[in-house]
């Protein structure tokens, strides 16, 4: 029964997560944290971090991670297949349709209308991840993890102002957090 739940849950994620991994995060969170309680909000933040650090799409990495956590290797296979099945079928169909009708203005209009919705989904996901990482549960100032805000600030400056390699920034962030946890916990 758990394999069926994993498959259907990630089938929904794969079918309705338009716009890529960042846009899929609210749907993934809704399924694995809110609906089935397979992960806590903190574990979900860790999942996103791990999914970002490993090669491949966020949704597929999430499916594999949650699948292993809930059902071992068979769970990972079932969840991953559920996640990639809708997009595989849809991609084949849309490729055929696009090649046949790519000159139609209605198709170009539909694509342009979807872009702002995807941006909103990405922004919401980013805000939720920041809230979780910073310890902002209901925006209580007492619970803020200042070291995470500091690491975020350093990472942001390194990426935006100095255009540093994201991999090195991720490694530096992990090292800073490790030192904080060794020294202060």
Burial of 130 (0-12, 13-18, 19+ CB in 10 A): middle
- The residue range of the domain holding 87 is 2-101
49 is a domain residue: yes
By mean pLDDT, which of 11-15, 16-20, 49-53 is the weakest? 16-20
36 is a domain residue: yes
pLDDT, average across residues 76-91: 93
Confidence of residue 171 (pLDDT cuts 50, 70, 90): very high
Q: What percent of the chain has pLDDT over 70?
A: 96
Kind and range of the H or E run holding 72: helix 58-101
Q: Report pLDDT digits (tens) over 38-66.
A: 999 889 988 888 888 888 888 899 999 99
By mean pLDDT, which of 16-25, 72-81, 100-109, 163-172 is the weakest? 16-25
Do residues 133 and 155 lie in contact, with contact meaning Cβ atoms separated by under 8 Å? Answer: no
42 is a domain residue: yes
Q: How many domains does the structure of the chain reveal?
A: 1
User: Coil, helix or strand for 103?
Assistant: coil
Q: Does residue 19 have a pLDDT over 80?
A: no
122 is a domain residue: no
């Amino acid at each position: 029964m758990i394999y069926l739940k994993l498959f259907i849950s990630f089938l929904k994620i794969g079918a309705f997560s338009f716009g890529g991994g960042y846009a899929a995060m609210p749907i993934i969170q809704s399924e694995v944290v809110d609906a089935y309680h397979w992960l806590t909000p903190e574990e979900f933040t860790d999942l996103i971090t791990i999914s970002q650090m490993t090669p491949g799409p966020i949704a597929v990495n999430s499916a594999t991670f949650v699948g292993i956590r809930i059902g071992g290797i068979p769970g990972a296979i079932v969840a991953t297949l559920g996640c990639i099945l809708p997009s595989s079928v849809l991609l084949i169909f849309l490729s055929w349709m696009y090649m046949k009708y790519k000159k139609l203005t209605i198709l170009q209009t539909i694509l342009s209308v979807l872009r702002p919705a995807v941006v909103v989904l990405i922004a919401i996901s980013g805000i939720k991840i920041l809230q979780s990482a910073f310890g902002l549960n209901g925006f209580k100032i007492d619970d803020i993890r200042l070291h995470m805000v500091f690491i975020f600030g350093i990472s942001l400056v390194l990426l935006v102002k100095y255009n540093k390699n994201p991999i090195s920034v991720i490694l530096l962030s992990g090292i800073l957090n490790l030192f904080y946890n060794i020294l202060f916990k």
